[in-house]
C-alpha cells in the first residue's frame, strides 16, 4: 500500500493498515539513521521526539491549542513508555495519539508506534503523557478549551477524571 508520510492519515487508511480501531489519529514516518544509537537500534530517547511529532498536530486538530502567540503553554508533567520491540533503520511506522481522560486543566494522552509491514501493523512502543495547560507567564493553570473537551469525548472516547 502507498502510505502518505508526515500527514494525518484518513481513518479508513489507519484501518486498512491494521491500526486498531481505538486509534483515530495517526501519521506515518520512517526510521532515520540519526535516530539509531551505537547498538544499531532506535534509541529510547528518539521515541520521545516521535511522540512529539504526533502530539503537535494532534493537539491542533483536537483544538487544545492553535500554537498562536497567546496560546497556553503545554507542559508535560509526567510520562511513561513501554518499549516492546526493537526498531531498525528504514522501518516504516505509524504514530498514533489520543486522549484517555481529562481534568480541568490537565489531561492524559496516549501514544503508540506501529511498525508497518505488508501484512501487519505491529505495536512496538506505547506511551502515556500527562499534559498541563499553563498560562504564558507561568503563574497558573488554564482550563482546557470547551472545543477540546468536545473532541476528547466525541472522537477519543475520553472520560472526565473526578
Which spans of this chain sit near its own copies (rule: CB under 8 A)? 2, 4-7, 29-30, 32-34, 36-40, 43-46, 48-49, 52-53, 56, 73, 75-83, 86, 89
Q: Which is nearer to its own copies, 60 or 153 (CB)?
A: 60
Least CB distance from residue 112 to its own copies, whole Å?
14
Instruction: Look at the block and give the residue holding cell 481534568.
Output: 103
To the nearest whole angstrom, how small is the minimum distance from the Cβ of residue 133 to its own copies?
A: 14
Contact 95, 27 (CB under 8 A): yes
Nearer to its own copies, 56 or 155 (CB): 56
- Minimum distance between the CB of residue 150 and its own copies, rounded to whole angstroms? 25
Q: Closer to its own copies at the Cβ: 44 or 120? A: 44
Residues 6+ apart with CB under 8 A from 23: 14, 96, 98, 112
Nearer to its own copies, 93 or 149 (CB): 93
E strands, the chain, in order: 26-30, 73-83, 92-102, 106-116, 121-134, 159-160
Contact, 107 vs 158, CB < 8 A?
yes
Amino acid at each position: 500500500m502507498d502510505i502518505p508520510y508526515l500527514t494525518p492519515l484518513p481513518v479508513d487508511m489507519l484501518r486498512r493498515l491494521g491500526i486498531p480501531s481505538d486509534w483515530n489519529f495517526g501519521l506515518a514516518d520512517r526510521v532515520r539513521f540519526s535516530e539509531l544509537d551505537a547498538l544499531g537500534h532506535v534509541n529510547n530517547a528518539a521515541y520521545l521526539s516521535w511522540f512529539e511529532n504526533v502530539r503537535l498536530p494532534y493537539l491542533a486538530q483536537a483544538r487544545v491549542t492553535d500554537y498562536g502567540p497567546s496560546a497556553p503553554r503545554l507542559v508535560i508533567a509526567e510520562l511513561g513508555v513501554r518499549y516492546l520491540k526493537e526498531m531498525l533503520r528504514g522501518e516504516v511506522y505509524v504514530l498514533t495519539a489520543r486522549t484517555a481522560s481529562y481534568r480541568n486543566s490537565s489531561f492524559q494522552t496516549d501514544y503508540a508506534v506501529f511498525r508497518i509491514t505488508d501484512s501487519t501493523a505491529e505495536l512496538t512502543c506505547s506511551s502515556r503523557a500527562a499534559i498541563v495547560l499553563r498560562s504564558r507567564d507561568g503563574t497558573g493553570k488554564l482550563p482546557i478549551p470547551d472545543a477540546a473537551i468536545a473532541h476528547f469525548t466525541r472522537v477519543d472516547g475520553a472520560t472526565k477524571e473526578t
